[in-house]
Amino acid sequence: MKLRNITAAGALALATACSGATTGASTSGTEAADLTLIPTTARATGSVAAVNWLLEDEPDSLDLDTQGGSAGRTVLGNVCERLYQLQPDMSVRPSLVRQAARPDATHLVLTLRDDVTFHDGSRMTADDVLFSLKRHAEPEMEQSDEFGNVSAMRKTGDHEITITFKQPDALFTKALAGDAGLVYNREQVEKAGEDFGTPGQSDACSGPYELSGWKSGDSITLTRADDYWGEQPLTGKVVFRWADDSAMVNALATGAADGTYADNIGTAAALRGKKGLDEHFGPSTSTLALIPTERGGLADPDIRKALSLALDRSGIAKSGYGGLVEPWATPVGSGAWGYAKDAFAAAQKQLTDAPAKPDAQDLAKAKELVKNAKKAPAEPIVIGTDSSQGRMVIANAVRAALTQIGLKGQIKTVPAAQYGEFYGDKEARADIDVLVADWYISKSDPFGFYDNGLSDSANNWVGFKSPEYDAKVAEGLRTLDDAKRAELAIDVQRRFADAAVWIPVAQMPTALVLDDKLTGPPASMAYLYYPWAAQLGAKKG
């Protein structure tokens, strides 16, 4: 969960630009949109001097080792490059790596490009790469968990790094397409010390744009790196500002801003059909879900399954999200299907305990489950949420579903800041039985999610325990063959769904809102890890 704000300086600039514009309207009652998720937009052919881009908040730091978050990634995807690169279709391919080899199942040999230069003009070396990997792996860093299966990382040639694993690791190269694969200029990072990533510091990177200014509380500016080792971008400068949802709607509607990747799907819903704007929707791993907590109101899996069967997902999509989310039977979106897409799509359709709109048969089955449950709750089931429209619609739908199956629901609404504490603080959620949640994973592989169901996972709040499940996840994480891993992922997905460890609600697409004279960036969730602005430009030259 990301808190959204607008600073005083940013608010003044936007308010001036947006004077007289309407605020974002409610999406309640909006007809459901017929969305086709397309990962790319049309190729740009014309150059642009500058664009104004909106973020949901100001990054706390531009050092992603110490402070993650979508705002920082949206900026730095254009500035800092990774060993592998997540593509718009959510597949992964080598980037700063020229060639990768696996001499055996526990070794990965990376042959690095020898033509990459950092923004200060120095060449990227194997020493820079090894330094970056070891920095990411330090216990206090954001990406340290990606290195838990690594036993050694060594420079084995002038342009070669060899990584040794304790056991085969199927997801490690996918992690290298995320923040675990960022490559920094060692000299610049060490020179900046603890100030690295703060205003006034260099970016220490090699991407198509360089950080040219960060006015804390106002804006971040990127300029085209004219000596970039790769293809030159069409847009000369990108200026980022940040806004809350209504100010974002106003700025885009009036032309004060040129585009955004809408963190809140309600922003895109409020701008549907606005003259001068195009909207593009692409694949994402993001979902809306209900996460049962330790409190115990949903401790019985039969009660969880009954709730899932009775939940009106189509009504939630229409009333809470303007029809821009899709009722979904798993807690991870289709953007996780970076391989074996057809197999995963077919398996999703086989899951029948999360209907889009429950019919009489679904409700009858749900009531029978409640009747025969061993631990049917006597007290009301407490539903935790903040007051945002979409989550309130879900909370009310949960309460209505509970009523239909003979149970009681009670909504506990907290401020946005307190809501964020539910995710990481067991005590914060001690008074709720289920959390209305949104969630995404950084890897385009379902196994990047299903480790949340392991017996010892910190995100397995309800205490689901299955040795068979744990064994299947462990096997999948060490299975290097994509086809075999897909079979295991589908098996694990079914087990997770049968136990209703989480209750899926809908998948959320990536929403790109763009001035209708511009085109080029990816429309998928890849923008968080991909140089999207490098493809941004005018529709016509």
What is the set of domains in the chain, with CATH numbers? Answer: 8-79+207-284+511-538 (3.40.190.10), 84-188 (3.90.76.10), 287-507 (3.10.105.10)
Cα distance between residue 466 and residue 450, in whole Å = 13
Contacts with 360 (C-beta within 8 Å, 6 or more apart), sequence order: none
> Two tokens at 297?
């109101």
> Two tokens at 482?
């994509």
Query: Structure pTM?
Result: 0.90
Helix or strand run (H / E) with residue 498: helix 482-499
What is the model's pLDDT at position 350?
A: 95
What is the model's pLDDT at position 75?
A: 98
The alpha carbon of residue 399 and the mean position of all alpha carbons in its chain are separated, in whole angstroms, by 28
Inter-residue contact 181 to 84 (CB < 8 Å): yes
Cα distance between residue 236 and residue 249, in whole Å = 25
Tell me the pLDDT of the chain (541 aa) as tens digits: 222 333 333 333 333 333 333 323 333 334 456 789 999 999 999 999 999 999 999 999 999 999 988 999 999 999 999 999 999 999 999 999 999 999 999 999 999 999 999 999 999 999 999 999 999 999 999 999 999 999 999 999 999 999 999 999 999 999 999 999 999 999 999 999 999 999 999 999 999 999 999 999 999 999 999 999 999 999 999 999 999 989 999 999 999 999 999 999 999 999 999 999 999 999 999 999 999 999 999 999 999 999 999 999 999 999 999 999 999 999 999 999 999 999 999 999 999 999 999 999 999 999 999 999 988 898 999 999 999 999 999 999 999 999 999 999 999 999 988 999 999 999 999 999 999 999 999 999 999 999 999 999 999 999 999 999 999 999 999 999 999 999 999 999 999 999 999 999 999 999 999 999 999 999 999 999 999 999 999 998 6
Residue 143, SS3 per DSSP:
coil
Region of residue 339 (left: phi > 0; alpha: psi -120 to 50; beta: else): beta
H helix intervals, 203-352: 245-254, 265-270, 301-310, 313-321, 341-349
> Two tokens at 345?
């799509």
Neighbouring CB atoms inside 10 A of 208's CB total: 21
H helix intervals, 42-171: 70-76, 126-137
What is the model's pLDDT at position 28?
A: 34
Region of residue 132 (left: phi > 0; alpha: psi -120 to 50; beta: else): alpha
Residue 266, SS3 per DSSP:
helix
